[in-house]
Structures are given as structure tokens and as C-alpha cells.
Structure 1
Amino acid sequence: MTVAEWCVFGTLMLYLLTIAPIKWIGFRRFDNARPRDPAFYNDPIAARALGAHQNGIEAFPFFAIAVLLAEFRAGPQRLIDELAILFLIVRIAYVFTYLGNRPTLRSILWSIGFALNCAIFFMPAIRHWLPG
């Protein structure tokens, strides 16, 4: 497996691990029979964790498809790996800014992550102008 493919797995785990601790910490209030009960997410931290989790679910498909497409279309693997690592780092920072209630920085990080995704996605189209 390539580094970028491991980053796809890491991104998947990140969005799962974003919400799991909140449910575990609030286990006395969390009802697994009603996992989407809005009352559980009334706490501001729980609400922000849910938002970060949901955004992770939204961001994941584009990232996974971008990596696989770039690799399938023979983009430069080293560059794909580097951009995928950067994306994962940005997503980790994004989660922390979401939990820390830093909306401006969070939006900046989201934009950077989206730009990295676009760069990976369009890499096959511009690979002739890229270094090895």
C-alpha cells in the first residue's frame, strides 16, 4: 500500500475517532439505542464534535476518490503521498479547531484541505508539467 492509501485509512479513522470519545465520556447520558438523539448533543463540545465528525464524513469520499484516481492515472506517487499527508495533517488540525471553537481558523483549514484535494484530483491532468 502507498503512503497516500494509508492516509485514506487515517482520514477514515479520524472522523470515527472524532465522535467516539464524546460518546464514551458521556456514556451515562449516551443511549446507543438512540444514537442520533439531539438531546445528547446539547452540550457545546458534543455538538462541535458531532459537527467535526459529520464534516469528516462529507470530506472523506472526495479525498479517497482523488487519491485513487491520481494513483490509477499514474500521477507522480511521491507528490500524491506528500499531498495526502498534508491533507491528513490539515484534517487533524481542523478537528482541533472545530472542538476548540475557532471558526475562522477552521474555515481556513477547510479551504486548505479542499485545495489539497483538488490538487490531488487534478494531478493526472497536469502530470506532464510536474516533476518526476
Structure 2
Amino acid sequence: MPIAYWCILVAVVMPLVLAGYAKSGSHDNNTPRDDAEKLSGAKRRAYAAHQNAIENFPFFAIAVVAAISFGATTSTLNLLALLYLAFRIAHALLYIADKASLRSMAYAGALFTNVAIFVLPAFK
């Protein structure tokens, strides 16, 4: 199985890790979505990174599956998928650290890498 498929698994788990950090400590599991509004500082930013990771996951998963389905070079796809994850992890960490400009650059890097994954089969 290509490494890119494992990257999909990591990308789907990442929002759960971010939400876990955001809601660690004082969290009422009876109304978990209401609790998010009460978060502040780094934990609020972690929750926002969680939401952003969820929003970006579908395109990544579809791009990887499409690239494999249409015969993209596996080694290049694996490299791009790992690069995408590196950008997304950096994005989350920079979000939590409140580094907005660097966070935006990491977001753009992940987006452009994801587009490259999607169009990769066209260049085989």
C-alpha cells in the first residue's frame, strides 16, 4: 500500500488530536460543541486548527485516491503526500502559536501541494 494512503489516515486523525488538545482540562462532554465557544488563547486556536483540518481533509483524500486511480507515479505521490502532511502539521502548530503570517504560508504550501497531487496523473 502506498505511503500516500497512510498519509490519509494521519490527516484524518490530526483533527482529533487538535480537538483533544483544545478541549483537554475543563471539558463538559454533555455539550461538547457549546464548550468550544468558551475556549480562549492557544486552546481556541487549536480548535480553529481542528476545524481547518477537517475542512481541508476531503480534497486531500480525493486527490490521493484520484492520483493513484489515474496512474500517478507512486514515488512522487508519496513524496507530495508527506510534504502535504508536513505543511498541515506546521499550519496547526503555527495556528496554536499565533503566528498568522507563517500559518498562512503553511496553508498555501499545503494547498499548492494538494493541487500538485491532484494533477499529478496528467504529467505521467
TM-score interval (norm. to shorter): over 0.9
CA contact (8 A) 2:84 2:113 kept: yes
What does 1:1-132 correspond to in 2, within 5 Å?
A: 1-26=1-26, 30-37=27-34, 38-41=36-39, 43-127=40-124
CA contact (8 A) 2:21 2:43 kept: no
Q: Which amino acid aligns with 1:14?
A: M
Q: For 2:88 and 2:37, how far apart are their aligned partners in 1?
A: 27
Query: TM-score if structure 1 supplies the norm length?
Result: 0.89
Query: TM-score if structure 2 supplies the norm length?
Result: 0.94
RMSD: 1.1
Q: Percent identity?
A: 37
- Give structure 2 stretches of 5+ with no counterpart: none
After TM superposition, the runs of 4+ consecutive aligned structure 1 residues lying more than 3 A away are none
**C-alpha distance after superposition, 1:96-123 (max 9, x if no partner):** 1000000000000000000000000011
- Structure whose CA Rg is larger: 1
Distance 1:39 1:112, change over 3 A: closer
Tell me the matched-pair count.
Answer: 123
